[in-house]
Amino acid sequence: MLVPAHVIVLASEKGGSGKSTTALHIAVALLKAGQRVATVDLDGRQKTFTHYIENRRAWAERVQIQLELPTHYCVERAETSSIKANETTEVANFSAAVSAIERTHDFVVVDTPGNDTFLMRLAHSMADTLVTPINDSFLDFDVLATLDPINFAVTGESHYAEMVREARRQRRLFDGRSTEWIVVRNRLSVLGSRNKRLIGEGLTELAKRMGFRWLDGFAERAVYREFFPRGLTALDDLDKATLGRRPNNSHVTAREEVVTLLNALHLPLSENGKRHAAARAQWYSVIEEPLQVHEVIG
């Protein structure tokens, strides 16, 4: 029996929270785990996710290495003078992309724009796993809830949180399935701080109220910014040929945090894919030199 793909949607109403960066890391992690992965960029104006994947393809060709690539679709933004006609065209293009991939892939990873569009709402109601990255500051916490200025207790839910609640309700009505909502803290300070603790406490309170769970995602690291022009992720080989520079400790730590995040997402990996990935890894370990530890510098 053909099982429809598991849909992972990266979304938040806040711009620059790490949606596209996290989307590519999740997609590449799944590819490396032997899964059949398709990706969809719903941010047809900015197209960061599409550019990230194009950069990956171009870098692999340029330095003559193998980099896993997903089947990618970009839903172009319709820009006629009629908002209604634009929505209809974009929804038709999105539906066509999903129909083309949902039965031939294990996962579809959807990146969305950081603002409230019709398409972005539709994506929310299709998500099996909704991942909302937030930068670790009160400014970004505002996308989920309002806080008391004295004691930082949660005083109310935001517009975006209400939208997610409604999208999840629609999803249950439509096919009886539920959306798991996971809030991922991004750009975490590597040092403990009062801010970090207070945001953790706020998220814990909100998680119970809104029915999400939260996870620590990626720390604030320059390597995440440097990956984009080459389309790389922290999971790619940490060698000079792949990175185009010598790896350092930050690459190694970034890789560990990506693996930890991926495990904590509890995604339903296909056993078949996992077996393929394990066999491939064993084969590579026979034919390749192991990572030269002395190349990892501080």
Contact partner at residue 93 from ligand ATP, Mg ion, none, CB < 5 to 8 Å by partner kind: none
Does position 20 interact with Mg ion (CB under 5 A)? The reply is: yes
Binding-site partner at residue 250 among ligand ATP, Mg ion, none, CB < 5 to 8 Å by type: none
Query: Which CB atom, from 17 or from 129, has the smaller least distance to ligand ATP?
Result: 17
Rank residues 73 and 224 by Cβ distance to ligand ATP and give the closer one. 224
Residues 6+ positions from 13 with CB-CB distance below 8 Å: 114, 115, 116, 143, 158, 159, 160, 163
* Strands of the chain, DSSP E: 6-10, 37-41, 71-74, 107-111, 129-135, 145-147, 154-157, 180-186, 212-216
The residue (of 48 and 242) whose beta carbon lies closer to ligand ATP is 48
Cα gap 14→154, rounded to integer Å: 19
Examine residue 55 and tell whether it contacts ligand ATP (CB under 6 A): no
CA distance 146 to 136: 15
Using rule CB under 5 A, residue 112 touches Mg ion: no
**Cα dihedral sign for 92, 21, 131, 183?**
negative
Using CA atoms, how far residue 92 sits from 86, 95, 170, in Å, is: 10, 5, 19
DSSP run (H or E) holding 114:
none
Instruction: Pick one of 46, 86, 158, 253: the residue that binds ligand ATP (CB under 6 A).
Output: 46
Is 48 a residue that touches ligand ATP (CB under 6 A)?
A: yes
CA angle (257, 185, 134) in 5-degree steps: 135
Rule CB under 6 A: say whether 228 interacts with ligand ATP.
yes
Distance, in Å, from the CA atom of 234 to the CA atom of 25, rounded to the nearest integer, reads 8
Among 218, 230, 262, 270, binds ligand ATP (CB under 6 A): 218
Contacting range for ligand ATP; rule: CB under 6 A; set: 16-24, 137-145, 173-181, 208-216 = 16-24
Tell me if 48 contacts Mg ion by CB under 5 A.
Answer: yes
The answer to whether 77 contacts Mg ion (rule: CB under 5 A) is no
Binding site residues, ligand ATP, CB under 6 A = 15-21, 43, 46, 48, 114, 186-187, 218, 220-221, 224-225, 228
